């Protein structure tokens, strides 16, 4: 079943508006073009630094800038889109103010991996535009109000994973340039023996996070009673796709080096859309204190701590934080 056929069937089954499906289709087509630029690599002159920085003060890769521009251009011409917000833009980008949807995206997640040919991706989220004029506050909606979310993964295969809040579905790009349904109803097992975290930051974590990870590292001789394997790709898209495919838990906790921040990852462009996908697949997602999808953002570039994946592991990490707060 092609993506187009799936969207028609899924829309009819769940009463999803046609223009919402069309907007997702427009994003998917743009991701195909982004994937083509990614594959060109050095041959296309797209590797290396762009010589510019984003609002977070991070150096942009050439492909960050290219992918961001491609999505903006495509969605400004998408008939149902009222406005956009991107991790790479200081403020929102207006489109057609009287239209129905807002699109938020990280144009190229994991871009530090571009030059070494490790999987990267595009993350996107769709919200309903509130009534009234378009303004920053229009975008500041809790993740549980997302209408749809998804990502494209540019790796050994180009994949598209999406949800309209009725399950999670995975598609693979074929040789004809068409996404084909290959992973219907993706589910995350509640139990796992695999975790993903950047261990080099351990000394900067809050005590409950260190306690949780130390429990996993203790293996079968510790309180958890089983051995765990660790993975770390440094690309959230790749980490989440592995969890959706075979289970696991991913952590990017709060860091004492930046006490003014709630975390590293961007709430609206990374944490919220990935949390919707994970919870729709039967997993859980938390900032260690509350469900990520319940957080109401106060700014376009707000950050969040993230623990997501197999429900048992997220609950265990949350319990350690609650115990620390109660002590």
pLDDT in tens, 12-61: 999 999 999 999 999 999 999 999 988 877 666 666 665 565 656 565 67
Q: Which domains does the chain have, with CATH numbers?
A: 3-183 (3.30.540.10), 194-326 (3.40.190.80)
What are the structure tokens assigned to 324, written together? 């620390």
Q: How many CB atoms lie within 10 A of CB 84?
A: 22
Q: Mention every residue, 6+ apart, whose C-beta is less than 8 A from residue 149.
A: 123, 124, 125, 126, 162, 163, 272, 273, 274, 276, 277
- Rounded CA separation 227/83 (Å): 47
- What is the per-residue pLDDT for 56? 62
Query: Which alpha helices (DSSP H) does the chain contain, by range?
Result: 3-14, 18-40, 62-76, 136-139, 207-217, 236-246, 272-280, 311-326
- Rounded CA separation 237/189 (Å): 19
Which is it for strands 194-196 and 249-252: parallel, antiparallel or unpaired?
A: parallel
Q: Mention every residue, 6+ apart, whose C-beta is less than 8 A from residue 227.
A: 193, 219, 220
What predicted TM-score, i.e. pTM, was given to this entire model?
0.94
- The residues of the chain scoring below 70 in pLDDT are 42-60
- What is the per-residue pLDDT for 295? 98
Per the listing, tokens 């993964």 go with 153
- What is the per-residue pLDDT for 232? 94
């Amino acid at each position: 079943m092609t993506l187009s056929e799936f969207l028609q069937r899924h829309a009819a089954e769940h009463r999803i508006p046609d223009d919402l499906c069309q907007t997702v289709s427009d994003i998917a087509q743009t991701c195909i073009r982004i994937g083509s630029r990614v594959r060109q690599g050095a041959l296309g002159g797209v590797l290396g630094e762009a010589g510019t920085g984003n609002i977070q003060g991070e150096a942009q890769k050439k492909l960050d800038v290219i992918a961001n521009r491609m999505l903006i251009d495509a969605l400004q011409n998408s008939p149902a889109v009222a406005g956009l917000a991107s991790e790479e833009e200081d403020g929102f980008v207006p489109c057609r103010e009287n239209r129905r949807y807002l699109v938020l995206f990280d144009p190229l997640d994991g871009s530090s991996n571009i030059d070494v040919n490790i999987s990267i991706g595009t993350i996107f989220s769709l919200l309903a535009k509130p009534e009234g004029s378009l303004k920053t506050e229009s975008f500041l909606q809790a993740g549980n109000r997302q209408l749809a979310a998804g990502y494209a993964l540019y790796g050994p295969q180009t994949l598209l994973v999406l949800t309209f809040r009725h399950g999670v579905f995975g598609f693979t790009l074929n040789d004809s340039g068409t996404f084909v349904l290959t992973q219907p109803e993706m589910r995350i097992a509640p139990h796992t023996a695999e975790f993903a975290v950047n261990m080099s930051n351990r000394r900067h974590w809050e005590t409950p996070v260190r306690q949780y990870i130390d429990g996993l590292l203790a293996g079968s001789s510790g309180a958890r009673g089983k051995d765990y394997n660790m993975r770390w790709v440094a690309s959230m898209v790749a980490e989440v796709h592995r969890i959706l495919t075979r289970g696991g838990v991913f952590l990017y906790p709060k860091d004492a080096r930046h006490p003014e921040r709630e975390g590293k990852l961007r709430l609206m462009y990374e944490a919220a859309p990935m949390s919707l996908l994970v919870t729709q697949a039967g997993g859980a997602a938390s900032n260690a204190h509350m469900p990520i999808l319940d957080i109401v953002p106060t700014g376009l570039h707000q950050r969040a701590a993230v623990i997501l994946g197999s429900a048992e592991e997220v609950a265990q990490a949350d319990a350690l934080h609650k115990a620390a707060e109660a002590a």
